[in-house]
């Protein structure tokens, strides 16, 4: 199993994580080892999962939640009672 | 009180009522939300994050009379087996100098081992309560999935993890479990405990007539010193009247692979929320893609990046069926194997960890070697089962533990088995 730098960069961009050159090289080598180890899953038989799960429902009623002030209390930037995010494009 | 760097924040939280834990001190892992007291998950990303609400387990501790003494150190977001991936520096093992305390709840186990707290809470996604319990010579319980509310636990791999107690004795850990167990309207995966379940009362030390199964697959990779210690434990159980049988669990051969594929995949999704807008480190200027990617580069450590990237890879187009779907098959297979085993035995026993505590720094450059050490703990999370780690005879390289696994919601059986030893 080999993993090249371009593959690591592609996955990092999907995951929205910038990496430096050193990390890319290190991860490419480590991912090759780890993915090779995962190959053993190919030999696992198909198994039907237990169907003993049940949906849990509750009435759709208004309940107390966080106040606006509490919800915003950890935001790096806010404006007029809203979260302030980066520009979209 | 922080000689071993067991605490990230040593700020006391007072009880709100009197109860079974009045007069007792409890240390709480720093991925469990405490209103008004910062909760970092051992990450730079959340170094200033102060939750506006309490986790359900924290409310229950306060109502039961406990004083919370502080928030404990941990591998970043629970991702590690040594407590060395914390952004707040490693925790020392009070029971084995120069060696790691295990992880990821290493601070919780070290706090109990050093006497800095009477009891502690950790979280266990693939062994993160049981491993540090074993390495620090204390008791740790991973409850059945759904017995304890995860509301307010910062998610790493939510289909696998449970909050669990640590204590010097089996009875102490079971007493803490009695306080935190039970359904919670804020966590729809919680479940009623069995009727009249009393975990502390099950610590009777009586295993006469109990059948203990030993899976040879969980002994294969163990160090010689660990095996010797485990054999001595089995003799103790026999002497106390238990019957010991061999039970095969062939599916555990691919449990570590399945665990890491599932945990990394869930982590890649759960940790997507850390974008530096609602909390965490701001990514600053640029468009949203650039800003998020920069916040996450700065806020996450290497192990967290590694797992998010591998999880993203396993779920990406063309690889989903090969990794994620096969891992789900492997998970169902493990569950089936355990179900069959519990038709003939009351509990299963194995060494908790195949090795004694690592030396500091030993696994940092080789993540795969660290993952392999989870061989005996991850099958339990894949099968949603309860397990306890109890100190066994110490090796020259430090404490090791024996693990008892029970059927779903069979916490009383593993408490009973463990109470023969501690």
B308 — pLDDT class (breaks 50, 70, 90): very high
State the Cα–Cα distance between residues B69 and B263, nearest whole angstrom.
30
For B59-112, how does the pLDDT look when each residue is reduced to its tens digit (9 = 90+)?
999 999 999 999 999 999 999 999 999 999 999 999 999 999 999 999 999 999
Mean local confidence (pLDDT), B3-16: 97
B7-250+333-418, which class in CATH? alpha beta
- Inter-chain CB proximity B305 and A23 less than 8 Å: yes
- Closest-CA distance of chain B to residue A13, Å: 8
Shortest Cα distance, chain B CAs vs residue A6, angstroms:
13
Residues in chain B closer than 8 A to A31 (CB atoms): 309-310, 313
Asked whether the beta carbons of residue B285 and residue A50 sit closer than 8 angstroms, the reply is: no
> Which residue stretches of chain A have pLDDT < 70?
51
CB B244 within 8 A of CB B375: no
B308: nearest CB among A15, A73, A88: A15
Question: What's the confidence (pLDDT) of residue A58?
Answer: 87
Q: Tell me if A73 and B50 make a contact (CB, 8 A cut-off).
A: yes
Q: Is B194 on the interface with A (CB under 8 A)?
A: no
Alpha carbon distance B125, B377 (integer Å): 9
Q: Which of B288, B309, B331 sits opposite A87 (nearest CB)?
A: B288
Cα–Cα distance measured from residue B414 to residue B422, given in angstroms and rounded to the nearest whole number = 12
| pLDDT over threshold 80, residue B122 | yes
**Backbone torsions φ then ψ of B211, nearest 5 degrees:** -105, 120
For B148-194, write each residue's pLDDT tens digit.
999 999 999 999 999 999 999 999 999 999 999 999 999 999 998 89
What percentage of chain B exceeds 90 in pLDDT?
95
Residues sharing a CB contact under 8 Å with residue A55, sequence separation 6 or more, in sequence order = none
CA-based nearest residue in chain A for residue B46: A74
Residue of B154, B262, B329, B335 to mutate for A, most A C-beta atoms under 10 A: B329
Q: Do B329 and A16 touch (CB under 8 A)?
A: no
pLDDT of residue B31: 98
Q: How far apart are CA A26 and CA B242, in angstroms?
A: 50
Residue of A nearest to B369 (CA): A34
- Number of inter-chain CB pairs under 8 A, A vs B: 149
Residue B178: its pLDDT value, please? 98
In this predicted model, what pLDDT tens digit does every residue of B335-358 receive, in sequence order? 999 999 999 999 999 999 999 999
Facing A41 at nearest CB: one of B268, B330, B371 = B330
Contact status of B180 with chain A (Cβ, < 8 Å): no
Q: Is B159 on the interface with A (CB under 8 A)?
A: no
Per-residue pLDDT, A55: 87
CA B272 to chain CA centroid, nearest Å: 22
Annotated active-site positions of B, please?
Answer: 29, 104, 128
CA–CA min distance A21, chain B (Å)? 13
Beta bridge partners of B384: none
The torsion defined by the Cα of B48, B51, B57 and B58, in degrees rounded to 10, comes to: 80
Cβ of residue A37 closer than 8 Å to a chain B Cβ: yes
Strand order of the β-sheet with B25-29 is B7-9, B67-72, B25-29, B119-124, B162-167, B139-142, B387-391, B401-405, B347-351, B211-214, B243-246
Residue range B242-296, pLDDT digits in tens: 999 999 999 999 999 999 999 999 999 999 999 999 999 999 889 999 999 999 9
At residue B363, the pLDDT reads 86
pLDDT band at B46 (very low <50, low <70, confident <90, very high): very high
Q: Which residues from B are below 8 Å from A30, CB to CB?
A: 306, 367-368
Q: Could you tell me the pLDDT band of residue B364, with boundaries at 50, 70 and 90?
A: confident
Which of A16, A23, A83 has the CB atom closest to B277's CB atom?
A83
What are residue B347's DSSP bridge partners? Answer: B212
pLDDT at residue B2 is higher than 90: no
Q: Is the peptide bond before B178 cis (omega within 30 degrees of 0)?
A: no
């Amino acid at each position: 199993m080999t993993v090249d730098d371009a593959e690591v960069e592609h996955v990092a961009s999907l995951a929205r994580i910038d990496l430096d050159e050193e990390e890319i090289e290190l991860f490419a080598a480590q991912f090759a080892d780890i993915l090779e180890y995962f190959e053993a899953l190919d030999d696992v038989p198909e198994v039907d999962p237990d169907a003993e799960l049940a949906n849990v429902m509750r009435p759709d009623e208004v309940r107390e939640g966080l106040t606006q002030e509490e919800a915003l209390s950890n935001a790096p930037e806010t404006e007029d009672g809203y979260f302030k995010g980066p520009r979209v494009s | 009180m922080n000689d071993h760097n067991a605490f990230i924040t040593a700020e006391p939280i007072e009880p709100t009522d009197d109860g079974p834990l009045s007069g007792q001190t409890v240390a709480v892992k720093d991925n469990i939300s405490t209103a008004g007291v910062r909760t970092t998950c051992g990450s730079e990303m959340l170094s200033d994050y102060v939750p506006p609400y309490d986790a359900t387990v924290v409310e229950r501790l306060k109502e039961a009379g406990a004083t919370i003494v502080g928030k404990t150190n941990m591998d970043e977001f629970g991702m590690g087996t040594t407590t060395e991936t914390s952004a707040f520096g490693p925790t020392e093992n009070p029971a084995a100098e120069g060696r790691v305390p295990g992880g990821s709840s290493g601070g919780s186990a070290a706090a109990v081992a050093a006497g800095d707290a009477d009891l502690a809470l950790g979280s266990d996604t693939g062994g993160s309560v049981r491993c540090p319990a074993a390495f620090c010579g204390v008791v740790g319980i991973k409850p059945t999935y759904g017995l304890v509310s995860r509301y307010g636990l910062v998610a790493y791999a939510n289909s696998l993890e449970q909050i669990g107690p640590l204590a010097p004795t089996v009875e102490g850990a079971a007493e803490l479990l009695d306080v935190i167990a039970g359904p919670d309207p804020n966590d729809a995966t919680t479940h009623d405990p069995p009727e009249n379940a009393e975990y502390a009362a099950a610590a009777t030390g009586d295993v006469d007539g109990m059948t203990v199964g030993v899976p040879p697959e969980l002994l294969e990779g163990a160090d010689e010193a660990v095996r010797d210690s485990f054999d001595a434990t089995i003799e103790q159980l026999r002497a106390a009247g238990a019957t010991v049988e061999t039970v095969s669990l062939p599916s555990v051969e691919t449990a570590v692979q399945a665990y890491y594929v599932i945990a990394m995949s869930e982590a890649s999704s759960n940790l997507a929320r850390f974008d530096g807008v609602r909390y965490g480190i701001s990514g600053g200027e640029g468009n949203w893609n650039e800003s998020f990617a920069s916040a996450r580069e700065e806020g996450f450590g290497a192990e967290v990046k590694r797992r998010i990237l591998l999880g993203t890879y396993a779920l990406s187009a063309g690889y989903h069926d090969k990794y994620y779907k096969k891992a789900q098959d492997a998970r169902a297979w493990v569950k089936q194997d355990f179900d069959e085993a519990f038709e003939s035995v009351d509990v299963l026993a194995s060494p908790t960890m195949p090795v004694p505590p690592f030396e500091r720094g030993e696994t940092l450059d080789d993540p795969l070697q660290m993952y392999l050490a989870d061989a005996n703990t991850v099958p339990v999370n894949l099968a949603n089962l309860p397990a306890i780690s109890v100190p066994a005879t110490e090796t020259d390289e430090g404490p090791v533990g024996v693990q008892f696994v029970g059927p779903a919601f069979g916490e009383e059986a593993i408490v009973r088995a463990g109470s023969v030893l501690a």
